[in-house]
Every structure is written in structure tokens, then in C-alpha cells.
Amino acid sequence: MSRNAPLGFYEFFAGGGMARLGLGEGWSCLYANDFDPVKAATYRANFPDADQHFHPDDVWQVKPSDLPGRADLAWASSPCQDFSLAGHRKGLEGGRSSAFFGFWQLMEALNAEGRAPRTIVIENVVGLFSSHGGADFTALCAALASQGYRFGALEIDAARFTPQSRPRVFVIASRDPGRAPLGRCVFHTRAVEQAHARLPAELQALWLWWDLPAPPARNTDLASLLDADSEVMWRSDSQTGRLLEQMTPLNRARLNGDEHRTVGAVYRRTRAGAPRAEVRTDGLAGCLRTARGGSSRQSIVVAQDGGIRSRLLTPREGARLMGLPETYRLPGGGTDAFHVIGDGVAVPVVRWLAAHLLEPQLAYDDAGVLAAE
């Protein structure tokens, strides 16, 4: 391959195309799919060339012949609900996360045809490591090994790049790591270490400790990404009062209400059968979620000059927390917008991963030779 040519990739479960945005201009999308109509419409709205490569297909219906050529990378952000620590922990046998196997049967078929992707990235929630006591992660690693891949994992929190607490697992698998950077790094968290330790010896022997540098210190906080107070709709005093009543004294004390402006992000949860509002004022939003219920959409509270106001986080603010550009076209309505962004991957995380690991690795061909400039 020529180093001047874009790197080709397939994007499965593409959603609104956030992995594609993170990969950037040096990459060419050969195929993308997502069968969710809202996400599919959003993808098309943001990528003028979508008609050439995007397909609104269930991954189980995709055939190997639908995938052109041989990709340098296959990216899969498969549905995470069954891996989530907040879910029912059905693991790889769950209805949603079983979509992974629809993706994986395609990788097996491509390998049989001699055109398996050189690298695979599987992105999911941190619960992937511990699902079914680690059995699901072991099964995933065994699947990768069966098709000739070596692999390793990183836990990256989007909070290193954007003011949103959003830890995610990135399993990176390579058929030939070439001269990719290897070594211990800050993204080898305790959860990564424990997941590796639970693997059987034959899979540990195939493990790669990918070395990804830590990014510079983040220079933004939640308040810096919010719309101007005059441009948003605030709740009434009585509505805000009901929200404050759902806070414990500890949470309420975080909103000092003095002359300094305190900005907090609030989640509403059910604790011991009672509604609770939990606020954080550390400059971070909580992890954005899809808007499937009243507790899934975050509120913003502002305490200043002895008063407290509250409102919902806007879709555009949520998009900024995912690292999306202002030009990114969101669906109309908060529910659809958060359905797209809450299921996405933070764009700056993908860019960092691509620049410091994927692109250096793929600069070498399958024989470990640096591609011609």
C-alpha cells in the first residue's frame, strides 16, 4: 500500500458516524452500517458520500460480498446494554450484545476469503471485562485468537479529552502488530490488569500491551461548553425546588449558592425505591446516555448569589461533550438527539487512538515493512 493513500475501514454499528469523525481525513470508509432509523438518518445528514457506502442493515443480514476489498481496519461499537454494569448482565448471550456475533461471523468469512481486516477495534463499556465473571471477555479473546489475531485492551475515559466522565474499553486486535508501540501505559487500568490476569495462559501469550501516550491536560470544563444563560429554557422555581428536595444533604451542600458561580450536572436515579438527584460539581458531566427514560437525561444546576436555577442539558451541549463539531447535524428533538450521541463514542478519544496507535501500526505492511511514502 502507499502511505499517501487513505487507510480503508469498515464501521459496524456506526450510529451517527462518530468513529469515522475521529479517524479523520486520512481514512476512507469502505462500508458502514446501522439499522436504527434515527441513527441512519443522522449519518446520512452528516456525510454527503453516505450513499456510496452506508447501509441501514441488521448486521446479521450483511453478506461478505457486501464488504468491498480488504480493509485496514474494522471498527465495531456493538450494543453495550448487556455488558453494562447497570444492566441485567446477560453478557454475550444477551439479545442486544449478541449482535457482536453477527459482526464476528463476517470477520470469519472474510478471513476464509483471505481478506480479513489487518486490525480490529471493538469498543464497549467497562462491564465487558467482568461480564459473567470474565467469561465473556475470555470468549471474545478466544474468538480473536481463532482468526489469527493478537490483541490487547485499553480503558480510556473521555474525561481526559472532554468534560464528560465516560470510561470505555477498546480492544485492539492485529494480525501483525508490525512496529506498533508496545509497553505499559496509563490506560492499562486495574480493570485491564485484572481482565488480562483472568485469561488462560494460551490467551495471555497472545496479549499485546499497547502503548498509548497520555494526552495533555484537558483545558475545558463543563461550564465552558454550556450555552449562554439567556439562550436556554430554565425550569420554574417550583420545579427546581422539587429537584433539590430529591438531593441528600451531602449533594445539596455542593451547591453553596454564594457569590461564586457553581455549575453542576445532575442525574436523577432511584435509590431504595425513592427518587434521588445526585449532583457533581467537579467540572465534569456524568456519562451521557440514550434518552429512554426521565432519569437518563442530565440536568444542569447553577448556584449563584444565593439562588439556584436548573434546566435540562441541551442536545448541542451534549454534542460538545462528545467532541462533535458545531456543524454536526443533530436530529430534531432531545430524545432522538440523545439517542444518537448517548450511544456514540467520543470523537477525540478515537482521534488520539488513531494518531498514536492505529496509524503507526498500519504504516507497516503485513510483512512489517514501512509503506512507501
Could you report the per-residue pLDDT of 356-371, keeping only the tens digit for each?
999 999 986 655 555 5
pLDDT at residue 95, rounded to an integer:
56
pLDDT at residue 1, rounded to an integer:
40
pLDDT at residue 315, rounded to an integer:
96
Amino acid type, 255: L
The CATH number, out of the four listed (3.40.50.150, 3.60.130.10, 3.50.4.10, 2.60.40.1530), of the domain defined by the range 7-218+340-362: 3.40.50.150
pLDDT one-digit tens code per residue, 203-240: 999 999 999 999 999 999 999 999 999 999 999 999 99
- Domains of the chain: which residue ranges? 7-218+340-362, 228-313
Q: Cα separations (Å) of 233 from 54, 79, 257, 309? A: 36, 33, 20, 11
pLDDT at residue 194, rounded to an integer:
97
User: Low-confidence residues of the chain, pLDDT below 50?
Assistant: 1-2, 84-89, 294, 372-373
- The whole-angstrom separation of Cα 295 and Cα 315 is 16
pLDDT at residue 86, rounded to an integer:
43
106 membership: H or E segment, kind and range: helix 99-112
Spatial contact of 82 and 89, defined as CB atoms under 8 Å apart? yes
Query: In terms of pTM, does the model score above 0.95?
Result: no
pLDDT one-digit tens code per residue, 53-105: 999 999 999 999 999 999 999 999 987 655 543 444 466 666 555 788 889 99
- The whole-angstrom separation of Cα 118 and Cα 279 is 44
- The whole-angstrom separation of Cα 48 and Cα 232 is 31
244 membership: H or E segment, kind and range: helix 237-245
Grid cell listed for 235: 425550569
Spatial contact of 121 and 358, defined as CB atoms under 8 Å apart? yes
